[in-house]
Every structure is written in C-alpha cells, then in structure tokens.
Amino acid sequence: MATTDRQATTLALAHALSAAERGLAVIPLSRTKLPALRSPHRDDPEPQPCHGECGRLGHGVYDASTDPARIRELFAAAPWATGYGIACGLPPHHLIGVDLDTKSGTDSSAALRELALRHLFTIPETVVVLTPSGGRHLWLTGPPDAAVPNSAGRLAPGIDIRGAGGYLVGPGSRTDHGVYSSAPGTAHLAPAACPPALLRLLLPPPRPTHPSTHPSAGDHGQGLVQFVLAAHEGQRNTRLFWAACRAYENGIGPALVAPLVDAALNTGLTEREARATIASAARMTGHRP
C-alpha cells in the first residue's frame, strides 16, 4: 500500500473514532464511498438475508459500531479504507441526512428553501458536511420510533435522504473525487432536531384510515379526526385527548382508535405518544383501552 494510502487510512480511523465518541456508529469506506469490507456471503450459491447474525464482518451498515475496539477491528480488516460511513437511524441520535446534490442540474438548496416556505418550517443550525462535488449534507435527528426511509429525489429533485439502513460519508473521508469536510462553524454543533413539518414529508404516507368502520361512527367520527388533523404544535396532545374522550363518550372510541392514531401521526406525534394519550382518554371516560 502506498504511504499516502496508509496515511489516509490512519486519518480515516482517527476521524471514525472521534465520531464514535459522539455516539455515531461508523464503518470503514473505500475510495468509492462504498463499504470497504465485502459481504462474506458473496460466493454462497443461495445467499440468505443476513444482517451480521453470522458473526462475520462485511455486512455494510449493519457492522456499524461506536465501540473503539470493534472499529479498530473493522479498519484492521480493511487496510485499504480511506474513509468512514456514519450509520443513520441508530440511537442515540437517530440521524437523518439531507443530501443536497449538485449533479442533477437543479438548485437543490433552492428546492429545500421552497419546501420550507411551502410547509412552514425552517432548517435549524446544525452540522453541515461539504462534499467534493460542491454538495452539502445536513445532519438532523429524528424521534426514536420513527424510521425515516432512504430516498433519492422523492422530496425534490437533487435532494436525497439518508435514513434507517443508510449512511453518510463522514467528514475527513478521502474518496476518488476529493475529501469530505465540515462546513466552517458547524463541526462543534450537535445534529439538530428535524422540524416536525419536514419529518412528516420524510416519513412514509400514513396508513389508510377507516373512520366509519363502526356503524355509529359516521360524520361525528370524521369530525373528530379532522379536529385532530387541524392541531398545531403545542395543541396536538390536547386535541387528541379531547377528541378521544368525545369518541368514547359517544360509543365510537374503539372504532376511532386507528383513525385518531393516524391523524396524530400526521400532526407530528409518535405512535407511542398517540396511543398513550388515547388510552388515557379511555380510562378517563371509564372505558378499557
């Protein structure tokens, strides 16, 4: 291995260990930005899905760790690694990466600003990583029980999302196209919380609701669901609790649990929060949740 490659590997390991100290799980990457370790199942005649249960290295993002000894083991097995990837969606940060690309011929930064204006959110001050091609990676955190999927261009042209099962190239990584680096003034920041309105755009569409599955739910049930959907931040739990109480008082509580949960998810509550609030309303009105 050339001296420059050894230096790149040493630097990549140092950056990876530093990231792990911040609670970010990492894996070694090659110069192509792909996981440096190949799958141990690549030659199996009929490979079965494996996320590392076999105990061997080479399962991509599923190898990601914050344990220094494990990280050193990963890099020792891939001495050609010149960078590191940061796994998204894992505790404690539940990282979400917003990748603003420059290769698509569109102004992805302008597209994000337009989305922010249309959906009434602002991007908070957060970690920003500059890519060799001139793009930017914004680091945000999500709630622990909301798995943001990976997507490419779904939010807007030129905007890719790295979520659960994905990874971001860490700052300090060296690739065939150059070095990833922290934007000035952001390296010391912690990833900021993803704005609820943006999070709703990133999550999968809610499950179809069936508010009239109970014969007596009717328009009143629809009205309660709409009441919850109209909640602003700061009103979400209160409105959901009130609507659930009215539903149980009118004998349509069980039929409206799923529609109310879906409505609450649309306002930014987590499923766990929504179900806990509805269960409280059931107990308050003398019903079994």
Two tokens, residue 137: 């990676």
Q: What is the pLDDT of residue 104?
A: 63
Residue 84 pairs with which residues in a beta bridge?
Answer: 28
The average confidence (pLDDT) of the chain is 88
Q: What is the pLDDT of residue 1?
A: 46
Residue 128 pairs with which residues in a beta bridge?
Answer: 138
Give CA–CA dist 284/241, Å, rounded.
10
pLDDT(187) > 50: yes
pLDDT(209) > 80: no
Helices marked H in 167-214: 196-202
Residue among 208, 210, 285, 209 at smallest CA distance from 251: 285
pLDDT tens digits for range 131-148: 999 999 999 999 988 889
Vertex 169 angle, CA 168 and 170, to 5°: 105
pLDDT tens digits for range 79-130: 999 999 999 999 999 999 999 988 767 789 999 999 999 999 999 999 999 9
| Pairing of the two strands 136-141 and 192-193 | parallel
Q: What is the pLDDT of residue 273?
A: 87
pLDDT(208) > 60: no
Q: Is 23 left (phi over 0), alpha (psi -120 to 50) or beta?
A: left
Two tokens, residue 226: 């709409």
Find the mean pLDDT for residues 182-210: 85
Run of H or E residues at 160? strand 159-162
- Contact yes or no for 2/64 (Cβ under 8 A): no
Predicted TM-score (pTM) of this structure: 0.70
Q: Which of 100-104, 109-113, 171-175, 192-196 has the lowest mean pLDDT?
A: 100-104
pLDDT(214) > 70: no
Cis peptide before 92 (omega within 30 of 0): yes
Give CA–CA dist 272/191, Å, rounded.
23
Domain residues of the chain, as ranges?
A: 1-87, 88-203, 218-284
